[in-house]
Chain A
C-alpha cells in the first residue's frame, strides 16, 4: 500500500519511464471517466424510464395498433392525430382540461397566497393552523377522493346536511354536469393549498427584514409594501408554484377515476383519464399514444411559455 502511494511522488521528480507514462495516461482517463461512472446509474434510469418511453410513445403514435393484437401494427402516419382532433369528445376533453387547470392554478395560488400572508407570523397558533392547512397534502389522493365523495353525497353527505341546516337547498355536487367539474376543482384546491401556502411562507421568510424596515421608515402604506416588495421578492416562488401546479393539474387522474369516471356525460373527462380509458379499457393503442404525445406537447408548450413570459419578470436575488 505504502509503496503504491509513494510511486507518483517519485515519478514527479525523476524522468518517467515508459511504463509510468502509460500508467499516467490510464490514470488521466480514469479521472475523466470517473464522474460519468458516478452518474451512470442515474443516467441509465433516466434513459430507460424517461427518455426511451417518451421516444417510444411518439413512435407508437404513428401506428394503428391495439393491445388485443400486437403483431399487427400498421403505419398510419398522422392519422391517429387527425382522427383525435376531429373527435368532438376529444375537444371536450381538451376544454375540460383547460378549464380545470386554469381554475385550480389561479384560485389555488391566490388562496394560498392570502393564507400565507395571514399565517406568516410568529405566534404558536399560526403554526397549528399552518399544520392543519398542510395536512391534506400528506394524505393519499385516492383516500381524499373517497372522503370527498362521501361528503358530497347529495343524500347522505355532510355538506348538504350542513347546507340544509342553515336553510339552504342541497347542492348537486357530482351528480350534474355543471357542478361535477366545480366539485373536482374544489377537491384539488383543498388538497393543494397547504403545500402552496408552505412554499409561500418559506419564500416570505427568506425576504430580508431590512427591506421592510426601510419601507417602514419611509412610511410606505401596506398595499405598496405588498405590491412593491413582497410580490416582486416572491416572484421566484410564485413562478415555481405556477409551473408545478400547471403541470400537475394537467395530469389529474385519481380524483376523476374515483369520483366521476369522467362523467356525468363526459363533463369531467380530462386528458390523462381519456388516455387511460382509450388505452387500457378500449385497447385503442394508437389513439392513446397520440393523446399522450398531445399531452406532452401541451405541457411542454405551457412550461416553455411560462419560462419565456414569466421567466423574464422573475426577480432572483
Chain B
C-alpha cells in the first residue's frame, strides 16, 4: 500500500464539477488506449472464429470487461502480464486493463465514471475505503458469485472484505507493517538479533542503540513516521480499537488510545526515538533513508519495503513482528478487488471469474514473490514454491505469520477524513502543542461529527 508515487495535478479550484466530468472522459480514453495496446498482444483471443460447439450462439462473442488498477512501476507491469495470460487462457472473456494512478486517484475516477455511466467492471479499492464504496451502492455483493470459494483466502486478510455482513471485496495486493532491524547494529550492541518482543524491550533496545556525539545524537535506536497506520497498530497492541463496535464513535479517547501516544512521546523525550520530519509518505521515506544510512537501528514500515531495503542495505536486514504491549497486533493495508454494481450480469459473472483467477494460488505466489505483497490464499502459503522462498529468506514469512494477530482497518464512510484528523491531533500531541488528553478530546469531537453523517 505504501509505495505511492507523487502524482501532481494542478487543480483548478473553481472547476470541481468540470473536473469530474473531464476525469470521467479521460478515464474512458485511458481504457480505450490501453485496450488497443493490450489487444495487440492477444489478437487471437479476440478473434471471433471460435469453432467450438456452443449451445447459445450469443455466447460466441467474448464478454469484454474493463479492469482499472492502481499500481505503477514493476507491479503494474506484472498486472498487465497477468491480464495477458488470463486473456490467452480464457477465450470467452476479454479483460482490458488500464492504469489509473494511485489508489485515491483511481477512487475518484471510478466514482466519476460511475455517475457518467462508463464505469469499469473490476477495480482496486484501498481497504479502508471499502465501507464508503459499499454504502454508496457502487459495489456488487459477491456472495452469489463465489459459492463459498472465498474460504480459500487467508482469514486474516478477509477483515476488510465484508461490509454489513456482505462480501464485497477480494484480497489482492495486501501489506502489513513490520519492525525492521539492522541486525549488524543489534549484534554489535550485544542485543538479540531477533529484535524486541514487547514495548518495554523496544525501549531498552532503543536506549542501547542510541549513540551520542557531544550533544548531538548520531544514531537513534528507533524511528517511525507518526502515521495513522502505525497508530492503529499500537492501539490494537494495547487491546483497543479505533472505533466503537457500532462504528458510531471513536474509541481512542481511552487508556488504549492514550498508551501509544504516551509511549512515543516518552521515547522522543528520552532522545532514543526519532520522529522523521515530513508529511505523510515523506516521513516514511526519511525513516527508510535513515535506516539504510545506519542512522537509526529499527524502523516501522510496510512489508512492501522488504525487497527494496534488503537490496539497498549494506548490513543484514531483519524483519520482526511489531512489538506487543498487551498482545501482538497490526492492521493490514493495500487494496482489494471489487466488482461494480452497475455492470451487466454477464459482465459480473466474467468479473468474478477474472478476480478468482487473479487471486488464485498460481497467480498470487509469483505476484507475492516479485512484489513483496503477501500471498492471499492459504494454499499459496503452504505451496512448495513459497516454502522454498521462505526457507531462503525467512524475513518474507514474518508478515504472513503476523496475520494471526492482524485486525482489519476501520472502513466506515468518513474514515478517510477522520484519519487525517487523528493524524493531525497525534502530531499536536507528539510535537508538544497539546496534551494527550486535549488531542484525543478534539479527535473525539470531530469523530462524532463525521461518523454521524
Question: Chain A interface (Cβ within 8 Å of chain B)?
Answer: 49, 52-54, 56-57, 60, 66-71, 142, 149, 153-156, 172-177, 251, 253-254, 257-258, 260-266, 271-272, 275-277, 279-285, 288-289, 291-292, 295-296
Are A251 and B111 CB-contacts (below 8 A) given A258-B8, A263-B424? no
Within 8 A of A (CB), among B105-164: 108, 111-112, 115, 132-133, 135-138
Among listed B260-268, B320-328, B366-374, B425-433, interface-contacting one: B425-433
- Answer whether residue B58 sits at the interface, using C-beta atoms and an 8 A cutoff: no
* A-contact bits for B392-414, CB 8 A (1 contact / 0 none): 00000000000000000000011
- Answer whether residue B201 sits at the interface, using C-beta atoms and an 8 A cutoff: no
* A262 and chain B: residue at smallest CB distance: B279
Q: State whether A292 touches B13 (Cβ < 8 A).
A: yes
Q: State whether A266 touches B13 (Cβ < 8 A).
A: no
Q: State whether A60 touches B16 (Cβ < 8 A).
A: yes
Q: State whether A280 touches B11 (Cβ < 8 A).
A: yes
Number of chain B residues close to chain A: CB under 8 A: 41
Are A251 and B13 CB-contacts (below 8 A) given A68-B138, A258-B6, A282-B416? yes
Q: State whether B433 touches A263 (Cβ < 8 A).
A: no
Are A174 and B16 CB-contacts (below 8 A) given A264-B431, A265-B428, A280-B11? no
19 more contacts with CB within 8 A, not counting A174-B279, A288-B16, are A49-B15, A53-B14, A53-B17, A54-B14, A68-B111, A71-B115, A142-B8, A177-B431, A258-B8, A262-B279, A263-B424, A264-B431, A265-B427, A265-B431, A280-B104, A282-B414, A282-B420, A291-B13, A295-B14
Which one of B13, B135, B278 contacts A175 once the chains associate, using CB atoms below 8 Å? B278
Question: Chain B interface (Cβ within 8 Å of chain A)?
Answer: 6, 8, 10-11, 13-18, 20, 104, 108, 111-112, 115, 132-133, 135-138, 277-280, 282, 286, 289-290, 295, 413-414, 416-417, 420, 424, 427-428, 431, 433
* A55 and chain B: residue at smallest CB distance: B17
In the assembled complex, which residues on chain A have CB atoms less than 8 Å from the CB atom of B136?
Answer: 66, 68-69
Which one of A175, A254, A296 contacts B14 once the chains associate, using CB atoms below 8 Å? A296
Which one of A71, A254, A263 contacts B427 once the chains associate, using CB atoms below 8 Å? A263
Q: State whether B13 touches A276 (Cβ < 8 A).
A: yes
Q: State whether B17 touches A253 (Cβ < 8 A).
A: no
Interface of B is mostly: helix
Q: State whether B431 touches A279 (Cβ < 8 A).
A: no
Q: State whether B13 touches A284 (Cβ < 8 A).
A: no
Which one of B17, B279, B431 contacts A260 once the chains associate, using CB atoms below 8 Å? B279
Could you list some 12 contacts between A and B, CB below 8 A?
A53-B18, A153-B286, A155-B286, A155-B290, A156-B289, A175-B278, A177-B431, A257-B8, A258-B6, A265-B431, A266-B424, A282-B416
In the assembled complex, which residues on chain B have CB atoms less than 8 Å from the CB atom of A263?
Answer: 279-280, 424, 427
Which one of B15, B277, B433 contacts A265 once the chains associate, using CB atoms below 8 Å? B433
Q: State whether A279 touches B413 (Cβ < 8 A).
A: no
Are A284 and B17 CB-contacts (below 8 A) given A142-B8, A253-B10? no
Are A292 and B282 CB-contacts (below 8 A) given A68-B132, A177-B433, A265-B433? no
* B133 and chain A: residue at smallest CB distance: A68
Which one of B18, B20, B286, B424 contacts A67 once the chains associate, using CB atoms below 8 Å? B20
In the assembled complex, which residues on chain B have CB atoms less than 8 Å from the CB atom of A70?
Answer: 111, 115
In the assembled complex, which residues on chain B have CB atoms less than 8 Å from the CB atom of A69?
Answer: 136-137
Q: State whether A281 touches B277 (Cβ < 8 A).
A: no
Q: State whether B416 touches A292 (Cβ < 8 A).
A: no
Are A56 and B133 CB-contacts (below 8 A) given A67-B108, A264-B431, A272-B11? no
* B274 and chain A: residue at smallest CB distance: A155
Question: How many whole Å from B234's CB to the nearest CB in chain A?
Answer: 20
Q: State whether A254 touches B8 (Cβ < 8 A).
A: yes
- The docked-state distance in angstroms from the alpha carbon of A223 to that of B427 is 50
Q: State whether B280 touches A60 (Cβ < 8 A).
A: no
* B414 and chain A: residue at smallest CB distance: A282
In the assembled complex, which residues on chain A have CB atoms less than 8 Å from the CB atom of B416?
Answer: 281-283
Nearest first, the 8 A-B pairs at minimum CB distance are: A175-B277, A68-B136, A261-B279, A70-B115, A282-B417, A263-B279, A53-B18, A275-B13
In the assembled complex, which residues on chain B have CB atoms less than 8 Å from the CB atom of A281?
Answer: 104, 416-417, 420
- The docked-state distance in angstroms from the alpha carbon of A168 to that of B295 is 22
- The docked-state distance in angstroms from the alpha carbon of A57 to that of B433 is 37
- The docked-state distance in angstroms from the alpha carbon of A94 to that of B13 is 15
Question: How many whole Å from A152's CB to the nearest CB in chain B?
Answer: 9
In the assembled complex, which residues on chain B have CB atoms less than 8 Å from the CB atom of A52?
Answer: 18
- The docked-state distance in angstroms from the alpha carbon of A260 to that of B278 is 7
Q: State whether B20 touches A265 (Cβ < 8 A).
A: no
- The docked-state distance in angstroms from the alpha carbon of A254 to that of B9 is 8
- The docked-state distance in angstroms from the alpha carbon of A287 to that of B416 is 16
* B6 and chain A: residue at smallest CB distance: A258
